[in-house]
Chain A
Amino acid sequence: MDIYVQLLINSLQISAVYVLFSLGLTLIFGVMRIVNFAHGEFFALAALLLAVAVPWLVGIGAPLPVAFALAFLGALGAVLVLGKLLYEFAFRRFQRDMIGSFVLSVGLALLLQGVFIEMFTGAARKLPTLIEGTVRILGGAITVQRLILCLIALLVAVAMCWAIVSTRLGKALRAVAEDHEAAMLQGVPYRRIARIGFLIGTLLAAVAGALLAPVVVISPVIGSSYLIKGFIAVVIGGLGSIPGAIIGSILIAVIESVGGYYFDPSLATIAMFVIVMLVLLIRPTGLMGNG
């Protein structure tokens, strides 16, 4: 019984990052009808900045919690600035052009990854632990840091779902996602909503990266591997669907933790792929996608 609880806990913890990552992807697709291949690089940048900033801040005398807080905010800020720049100078002109924007984002991702490899010199990094300790829940164990990661991710996901349903911004985002021309006719400021949606999506990727940095060894090429799994998750769930992104992410997290335990990570990835093909066979637009 214990092993199942542990696997469940591992799944939830892995899914935390995937959920945030996929929510960003699906939100951007929803409002702009584009897939941003560079999404993984926003994620990577936040993680890398955190991984670099914390030791540096500690080195100049900041206490560890302060260093983490400052680095966290700094990483988010930097990614947002990058996102805004890329939106204004690149993506804005290509919205609703799925092919053109994807091609552009592939080029940007490649370019950014090359820059990261240069800037962060390819060496993997491990951060000092902020909060020590392990917690036991129902027979399974999880480190305190990972638990906090889960809780924050859960909080953010719930907040997003609530905001999408209840707030005016959320309703505007949904209107634009459903039918952007109708939304425009009803007076929704389409361009502003698209930009906000893009930035929120990018912010989610950044938060995911910044939360991941303390618990995993970060390398400059981490964006690509998360991106591929993120793609699988949003396709399973249905592009543009928020509940779909959550379901898809949890599913791949379960496969990764169970598959990784009983077999090995590469077999788990192969299994994920088989699953997504099966889903597409039965429902070509994903579990919760609209046909």
Chain B
Amino acid sequence: MASRSRALLAAAGACAVAGSFFSGSDFVSSLIIWVALNVLMTASFRFVLLMGELNFAMAGFVGIGAYAAGIATTLYDLPLALALLLGAAAAGLISLVVGFITLRAKGPYFMLISFAFTEVLRLIYTRIDLIGGNSGMVGIFPPAYLARYYPTLVVLLVLLFLFILYRVERSDFGKILVAIRNNDQLVQTVGINVHLTKVWCLGVASFVAGVCGALLAHGNNVISPGDFSFLLAVYTLAYLKVGGEAHILGAVAGAIVLTLLAQYALGFGAYEHIFYGAAIVISVILLPQGLFGLGQRLALARRRPDSRD
């Protein structure tokens, strides 16, 4: 990446951290946490798309992270760092099992089952009274000394994992994922176990989703099964489509733009469905490269008068 872009990004990241530090009201704090987590969830969803799979199970793994961390904090009084780790690990490990079974065959099997997986998890949560059943779990708080700086912690962790996902994407592992999406038979002929690679990809993405869930739990302080329905993954899809899939910054842009737009433009209810549904349909049909792609094209157009060809 060009050094100027790198500098700009670093500055943007620093602003985000600083902004979260000085956020005054509860509302702004919540919004910052919500936007930041949407960004990371979208990046996680996008990571699985690198290998050509739509991870609608993501909401389920966010939920696993949330509940595992919630249990760690409320039932076992574990420190926050450990709760976050347990949430992420639980999500990651379970994803390896689910992925191993469902990613084996070519075709939409993973895609379809991942919807069912999210729903079934939701049903399981409603049946377990230990975690509050249908009413959910309450009282999930970060330690008192952190409470004021929680938004900053969230933003820092989000930036950290965004960076990690970006580096993995650029590594040889990431290239293999894209190769699998391009031509998985060819990848088999060069000595790579495509199935296991796909499972690991899901594992990484789900670990990150688990982190999001754990952070969400401590941010909202209350979680319930309905928070982790497949709608969560569908909204993430909308963020990604609007922002653009080609680059991780597309995920960031889409999540920020659409979350803020939705926040200020609507209440709840049916209009939310229509809004996100329309966002996806319009992006797919009219703007397949998303905002990021649009930005790239504008930048190219502006540079053209001075270009050599």
Q: Quick one: which of A92-109 are within 8 Å of B by CB? A: 98-100, 102-104, 106-109
Within the complex, what minimum Cβ distance (angstroms) separates B82 from chain A?
Answer: 30
Q: Does A115 contact B (CB under 8 A)?
A: yes
Residue of A29, A102, A112, A284 touching B277 (CB-CB under 8 A): A112
Q: Quick one: which of A234-276 are within 8 Å of B by CB? A: 234-235, 239, 266-267, 269-270, 272-273, 276
Contact call B109/A280, Cβ cutoff below 8 A: yes
Residue of A35, A100, A228, A267 touching B127 (CB-CB under 8 A): A267
A270 to B126, CA, bound (A): 12
A60 to B168, CA, bound (A): 66
A185 to B7, CA, bound (A): 55
Q: Does B269 contact A (CB under 8 A)?
A: yes
Within the complex, what minimum Cβ distance (angstroms) separates A83 from chain B?
Answer: 16
Contact call B280/A106, Cβ cutoff below 8 A: yes
Contact call A35/B108, Cβ cutoff below 8 A: yes
A284 to B103, CA, bound (A): 8
List B contacts of A100 (CB < 8 A). Answer: 284
Contact call A235/B112, Cβ cutoff below 8 A: yes
A107 to B236, CA, bound (A): 12
Q: Does B169 contact A (CB under 8 A)?
A: no
* Chain A 18-51: CB-based contact to B (< 8 A → 1; otherwise 0): 0000000000010000010000000000000000
Contact call B120/A270, Cβ cutoff below 8 A: yes
Q: Quick one: which of A113-129 are within 8 Å of B by CB? A: 113-115, 117-118, 122
* Chain B 264-281: CB-based contact to A (< 8 A → 1; otherwise 0): 000001111111111111
A291 to B107, CA, bound (A): 10
* Chain A 113-151: CB-based contact to B (< 8 A → 1; otherwise 0): 111011000100000000000000000000000000000
A113 in contact with B237 given A228-B116, A231-B113, A269-B119 (CB within 8 Å) = no
Contact call B126/A266, Cβ cutoff below 8 A: yes
Contact call A111/B111, Cβ cutoff below 8 A: no
Residue of B109, B126, B271, B272 touching A284 (CB-CB under 8 A): B109
Contact call B124/A232, Cβ cutoff below 8 A: no
List A contacts of B109 (CB < 8 A). Answer: 235, 239, 280, 284-286
Within the complex, what minimum Cβ distance (angstroms) separates B245 from chain A?
Answer: 10
Residue of B113, B274, B284 touching A235 (CB-CB under 8 A): B113
List A contacts of B52 (CB < 8 A). Answer: 99
Name B231's closest neighbour in chain A (CB-CB): A110
Interface residue total, chain B, C-beta cutoff 8 A: 43
Contact call B284/A104, Cβ cutoff below 8 A: yes
A71 to B221, CA, bound (A): 49
Contact call B101/A280, Cβ cutoff below 8 A: yes
List B contacts of A3 (CB < 8 A). Answer: none
List B contacts of A98 (CB < 8 A). Answer: 107-108, 111
* Chain B 99-132: CB-based contact to A (< 8 A → 1; otherwise 0): 0011011011101110111011001101100000
List A contacts of B8 (CB < 8 A). Answer: none
Q: Does A277 contact B (CB under 8 A)?
A: yes
List B contacts of A231 (CB < 8 A). Answer: 112-113, 115-116
Chain A interface mostly:
helix
Q: Does B238 contact A (CB under 8 A)?
A: yes
List A contacts of B281 (CB < 8 A). Answer: 90, 104, 107-108, 111
A258 to B309, CA, bound (A): 71
Within the complex, what minimum Cβ distance (angstroms) separates A195 from chain B?
Answer: 19
Q: Does A281 contact B (CB under 8 A)?
A: yes
Contact call B270/A107, Cβ cutoff below 8 A: no
* Chain B 256-298: CB-based contact to A (< 8 A → 1; otherwise 0): 0000000000000111111111111101110000000000000
List B contacts of A114 (CB < 8 A). Answer: 270-275, 277
Residue with the highest number of chain B CB atoms closer than 10 Å, among A231, A286, A289:
A231
Contact call A107/B277, Cβ cutoff below 8 A: yes
A231 to B114, CA, bound (A): 10
List A contacts of B234 (CB < 8 A). Answer: 106, 110
A291 to B106, CA, bound (A): 8
List A contacts of B241 (CB < 8 A). Answer: 103, 107
Q: Does B54 contact A (CB under 8 A)?
A: yes
A-B contacts, 10 listed (Cβ < 8 Å): A99-B54, A102-B54, A103-B241, A107-B283, A118-B270, A231-B113, A277-B102, A280-B105, A281-B101, A284-B104
> Which 10 residue pairs across A and B have the least CB separation, nearest first?
A107-B280, A114-B273, A111-B277, A110-B277, A114-B274, A284-B105, A117-B270, A284-B104, A107-B281, A231-B112
Q: Give B contacts to A, CB under 8 Å.
A: 49, 52, 54, 98, 101-102, 104-105, 107-109, 111-113, 115-117, 119-120, 123-124, 126-127, 234, 237-238, 241, 269-281, 283-285
Instruction: Give 11 new A-B contacts, CB below 8 A, not counting A107-B238, A231-B115.
Output: A99-B54, A100-B284, A107-B241, A107-B280, A107-B283, A110-B234, A110-B280, A114-B271, A115-B270, A277-B101, A285-B107
